[in-house]
Amino acid sequence: PPIEIKAIGNTQTLESVLNFKGGTVWEMKNLNYQVDISILDEIEIQRQIKLIEFRYAQPY
C-alpha cells in the first residue's frame, strides 16, 4: 500500500530536505519506488486518539 507523509512547515526547506542526494526520497527512487511530492496550501492532520507506545525511543 502507499505511504503518505504529511508535514507542516516551510515548503522549500521540507522539499530540499527530502530531495537531497543520499536522502530518503533519493534512496527510494534509487530502489525504483514511485515517489510523489505535493505542496498544498492546506492539509488536515488527524489528532492522535490513543497514547503512542514507545518500543525503543523514550519521550522527553
How many CB atoms lie under 10 A from the CB of residue 29?
Answer: 13
Closest CA to 40 of 14, 2, 16, 20: 14
The values of phi and psi at residue 53, to 5°, are -95, 115
For 5-52, write each residue's pLDDT tens digit.
888 899 999 888 888 898 888 999 999 999 998 999 998 888 878 887
- Cell 534512496 identifies what position? 27
pLDDT greater than 70 at residue 2: yes
Q: What's the confidence (pLDDT) of residue 33?
A: 92
Confidence at 1, pLDDT banded by 50, 70, 90: low
